């Protein structure tokens, strides 16, 4: 039966494929792919874990005291029966051999399949056995966790020959998992929660694949292996589509691919407006390897290297100074002399570290991590870690142009502490004989307080970068990852536009560099508006550069600036911008 699920459109385009469900579990489950020559060994690892749990249950049963309730022995028998059922391990084995899932992922995927079968049973007693199944799965997952030394090294294949395209469906996808999935087989994402600037949405856009978030019920309604269409333009998910609908969307897919190919021809075209203004189009990256994609897309630098992703998937261990230095150096060298702006670690909110580290950082019981000990607040609270990261960044500056960006600054006292720490780090490097060059210091404008006090901040820094995602969130008091209030997240809100305009104007007046590195920078709907405000440096995911460059090439910045006042004073800024700024754009196609 075909049906539709509606959510929030966050990454454009159409994706068609089979659903892969990542089930929620009370036990953390690793999700990665296994090499072909390791599949049998991975299945054997699952069988060993199953046998260990079976032995444990049989021992418990044998050691039951004589006066133990009969129901307890019967319950252990049920668990043993489920454990040895072919649908349990055999089904999980299919996920391993056919999809190359690791054992933990295969087991949680099979749990999802079997749990739905239990839900559909008419008999109340049988239906309630789902809880027993969940307990058995958690026991086996625990056994797998105890034998992690046997686990194979993860791989992230781009595709498996002969496989159908795969779409990932989950209640939510942790940032650490997104990094694992980033270069794998998935052609699209669907999540129950999230908003336009939640982490899943941002990474989906960076991968240039369709995604719909905030669907609420998708992971419950969609079943493993269902054929699914993601309409990333409309925010619609179509499950088990009819042949007519499927063909229509395949046609749209082909059209989208042609449009991408046309825009790709702009790669070597300088980003210059019709009136001769040179525009910087930089890239946002998460890992050093992303720098190559930035160069390929025609980026003129890296405007945001999110260094926190070097800190994830590490089981509580922070990266060493040498490890960080190697990563930053690799990104700098890959950019071939173009500037690389490295943001110091920004953990917290939607990007926690793994559980062990989060507990150590006192995040475990924080009710609102977006307002808690995160970003520069955490760095200043962990001075040894902060100095270590700064030393790695400064050492990388010997291999190219590096700029240092500090997130979530709100107080002058923080800036003074940062400057003092930088001096200590420079002295440490000099004493150790490490080479480094001058590194420009910048702060992110993402808290309204920073935007309001910007003239004071500009006395102490070389540049500013406006992080529109958090600036909107904090200005409008909206959790950007909460689908319940996602409709209130409005980049066109007059207060947001005023803060962005004032920040750009004040930075330019002070002769300091200013860029926008939030999602607004990569959205072509905002390109003319930001140009009108005087912005000349944009930073976005590499996949977004061609579409923004096309808007730049068609724009006349002088005519745009003349229309800006009417947009900012309007009660309907979006509607006014569409009317006023469109007249300052040429309709001539760019080839």
Could you tell me the CA-to-CA distances from 50 to 62, 77, 214, 424 in Å, in that order?
18, 15, 36, 54
**Which residues are paired to 572 by β-bridges?**
none
The total of other beta-carbon atoms located within 10 Å of residue 59's CB is 9
Q: At what angle do helices 243-264 and 545-553 cross, to 10 degrees?
A: 60
Spell out the residues 6+ positions from residue 332 whose beta carbon is closer than 8 angstroms to its own.
Answer: 340, 396, 397, 399, 400, 401, 402
Binding site members for Mg(2+): 446, 470
Question: In angstroms, rounded to a whole number, what is the distance separating the alpha carbons of residues 290 and 284?
Answer: 9
Question: In angstroms, rounded to a whole number, what is the distance separating the alpha carbons of residues 296 and 300?
Answer: 10
Question: In angstroms, rounded to a whole number, what is the distance separating the alpha carbons of residues 68 and 61?
Answer: 10
**Token digits for 299?**
């980026």
Spell out the residues 6+ positions from residue 148 whose beta carbon is closer than 8 angstroms to its own.
Answer: none
Question: In angstroms, rounded to a whole number, what is the distance separating the alpha carbons of residues 266 and 554?
Answer: 12
Furthest CA-CA distance within the chain:
91
Nearest by Cα to 305 from 281, 352, 336, 341: 341
Question: In angstroms, rounded to a whole number, what is the distance separating the alpha carbons of residues 212 and 235?
Answer: 5
Q: Assign 3-class secondary structure to 2-38.
A: CEEEECEEEECCEEEEEEEEECCCCCCCCCCECCHHH
Length of the chain: 591
Q: At what angle do helices 573-580 and 557-568 cross, to 10 degrees?
A: 150
Element (H, E) at 211: strand 211-213
Question: In angstroms, rounded to a whole number, what is the distance separating the alpha carbons of residues 518 and 472?
Answer: 10
CA-angle at 496, arms to 519 and 298, nearest 5°: 25
Question: In angstroms, rounded to a whole number, what is the distance separating the alpha carbons of residues 549 and 290?
Answer: 20
| Phi, psi torsion values for 19, nearest 5 degrees | -75, 135
3-class SS of residue 227: strand
Binding site members for phosphoenolpyruvate: 306, 343, 469-470, 480
Question: In angstroms, rounded to a whole number, what is the distance separating the alpha carbons of residues 52 and 139?
Answer: 10
DSSP 439-487: -EEEEEE-SHHHHHTHHHHTTT-SEEEE-HHHHHHHHHT--TT-TTSGG
> Are 231 and 6 in contact, with CB atoms under 8 Å apart?
no
Question: In angstroms, rounded to a whole number, what is the distance separating the alpha carbons of residues 167 and 489?
Answer: 27
What positions carry a catalytic annotation?
199, 517
């Amino acid at each position: 039966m075909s049906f539709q699920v509606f959510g929030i459109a966050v990454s454009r385009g159409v994706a068609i494929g089979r659903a892969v469900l990542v089930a929620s579990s009370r036990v953390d489950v690793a999700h990665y792919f296994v090499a072909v020559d390791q599949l049998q060994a991975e299945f054997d690892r699952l069988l060993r874990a199953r046998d260990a749990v079976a032995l444990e249950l049989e021992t418990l049963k044998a050691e039951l005291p004589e006066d133990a309730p009969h129901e307890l022995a019967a319950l252990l028998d049920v668990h043993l029966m489920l454990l040895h059922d072919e649908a349990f391990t055999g089904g999980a084995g299919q996920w391993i051999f056919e999809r190359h899932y690791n054992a933990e992922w295969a087991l949680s995927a099979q749990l999802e399949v079997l749990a739905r079968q239990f839900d559909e049973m008419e008999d109340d007693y049988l239906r309630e056995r789902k809880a027993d199944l969940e307990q058995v799965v958690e026991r086996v997952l625990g056994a797998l966790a105890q034998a992690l030394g046997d686990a194979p090294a993860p791989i992230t294949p781009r595709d498996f020959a002969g496989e159908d395209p795969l779409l990932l469906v989950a209640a939510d996808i942790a940032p650490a998992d997104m990094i694992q999935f980033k270069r794998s087989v998935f052609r699209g994402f669907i999540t129950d929660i999230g908003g336009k600037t939640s982490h899943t949405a941002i990474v989906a856009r960076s991968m240039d694949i369709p995604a719909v978030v905030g669907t609420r019920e998708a992971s419950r309604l969609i079943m493993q292996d269902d054929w699914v269409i993601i309409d990333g333009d409309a925010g619609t998910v179509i499950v088990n589509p009819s042949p007519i609908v499927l063909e229509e969307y395949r046609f749209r897919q082909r059209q989208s691919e042609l449009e991408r190919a046309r825009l790709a021809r702009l790669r070597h075209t300088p980003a210059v407006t019709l009136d001769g203004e040179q525009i910087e189009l930089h890239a946002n990256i998460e890992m050093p390897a992303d720098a190559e994609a930035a160069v390929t897309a025609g980026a003129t630098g890296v405007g945001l290297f999110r260094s926190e992703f070097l800190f994830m998937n590490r089981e509580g261990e922070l990266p060493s100074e040498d490890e960080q230095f190697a990563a930053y150096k690799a990104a700098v060298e890959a950019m071939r002399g173009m500037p690389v702006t490295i943001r110091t670690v920004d953990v917290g909110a939607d990007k926690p570290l793994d559980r062990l580290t989060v507990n150590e950082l006192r995040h475990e019981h924080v009710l609102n991590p977006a307002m808690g000990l995160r970003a520069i607040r955490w760095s200043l609270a962990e001075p040894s870690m902060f100095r270590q990261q700064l030393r790695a960044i400064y050492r990388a500056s010997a291999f190219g142009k590096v700029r240092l960006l500090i997130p979530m600054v709100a107080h002058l006292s923080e800036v003074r502490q940062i400057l003092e720490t930088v001096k200590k780090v420079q002295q440490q490097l000099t004493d150790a004989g490490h080479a480094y060059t001058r590194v420009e210091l910048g702060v992110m404008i993402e808290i309204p307080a920073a935007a309001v006090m910007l003239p004071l901040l500009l006395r102490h820094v070389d540049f500013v970068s406006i992080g529109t995602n958090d600036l909107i969130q904090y200005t409008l008091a909206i959790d950007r990852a909460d689908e319940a209030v996602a409709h209130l997240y409005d980049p066109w809100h007059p207060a947001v536009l005023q803060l962005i305009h004032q920040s750009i104007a004040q930075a330019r007046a002070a002769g300091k560099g200013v860029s926008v590195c939030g999602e607004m920078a990569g959205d072509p709907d905002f390109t003319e508006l930001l140009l009108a405000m005087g912005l000349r440096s944009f930073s976005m995911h590499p996949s977004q550069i061609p579409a923004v460059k096309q808007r730049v090439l068609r724009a006349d910045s002088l005519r745009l600036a003349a229309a800006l006042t009417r947009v900012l004073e309007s009660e309907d800024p979006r509607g006014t911008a569409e009317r006023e700024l469109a007249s300052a754009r040429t309709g001539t196609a760019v080839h």
